């Protein structure tokens, strides 16, 4: 091992550290996009707390934005899968009330997280 080796290894390690910081730090999302049916019905910033009612096939789904997160708080569906999705806060997170045709998706400035890795 020479000095140049150590320098090369140190530079590579630093670059990898930087790459981890860029891609793996949890990314706060900027906005929530709300869809009803096939249409985009709203886009709200996550830094302002508010309640939103979204009109769907069965009735109104209630969404709540609070401290940079968003969730379904009520929906006129039988199984409440959307409510069980809980709070969403990372860019790329999604929740949907399929019976009511309402879905939300968080978007941020950075790349969305990987959905899955297959071999």
Partner 1 sequence: MPTVTPQDRLIAGYAALAVAINVIESGFPSPLPGVKPGLANVVTLIVLLRHGWRAATAVTLLRIVVGSLVTGSFLAPGFWLACAGAGAALAALALGASYNRIGAHIDKRWTLSPVGLSTLAAQAHICGQFALARWLLIPHPGLARLLPPLLLASLIFGIATGIATQRVLAELALAKSPTVKPSQET
- How near is the Cβ of 1 to partner 1 at its closest, in Å? 5
Binding-site size, partner 1 (CB under 8 A): 25
Q: Determine whether 88 is exposed, middle or buried from the number of CB atoms within 10 Å of its CB (0-12, 13-18, 19+).
A: buried
26 binds partner 1 (CB under 8 A): no
14 binds partner 1 (CB under 8 A): no
The residue length of the chain stands at: 119
Taking the least distance from each CB to partner 1, the nearer of 67 and 118 is 118
Count of CB atoms within 10 A of residue 44's CB? 16
Mask for 57-96, x = binds partner 1 (CB under 8 A): -----------------------------------x----
- How near is the Cβ of 60 to partner 1 at its closest, in Å? 33
Distance between CA 34 and CA 52 in Å, rounded? 10
- How near is the Cβ of 46 to partner 1 at its closest, in Å? 20
Rg of the chain over all Cα atoms, to the nearest angstrom = 20
Is the Cβ–Cβ distance between 76 and 90 less than 8 Å? no
- How near is the Cβ of 92 to partner 1 at its closest, in Å? 8
């Amino acid at each position: 091992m020479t000095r140049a080796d150590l320098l090369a290894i140190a530079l590579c390690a630093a670059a990898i550290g930087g790459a981890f910081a860029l891609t793996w730090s949890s990314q706060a999302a900027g906005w929530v996009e709300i869809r009803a049916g096939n249409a985009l019905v709203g886009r709200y910033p996550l830094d302002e707390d508010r309640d939103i009612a979204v009109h769907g096939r069965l009735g109104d789904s209630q969404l709540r934005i609070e401290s940079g997160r968003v969730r379904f708080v009520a929906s006129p569906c039988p199984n409440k899968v959307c409510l069980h999705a809980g709070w969403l806060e990372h860019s790329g997170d999604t929740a949907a009330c399929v019976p009511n045709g309402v879905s939300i998706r968080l978007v941020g400035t950075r790349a969305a997280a990987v959905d899955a890795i297959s071999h």
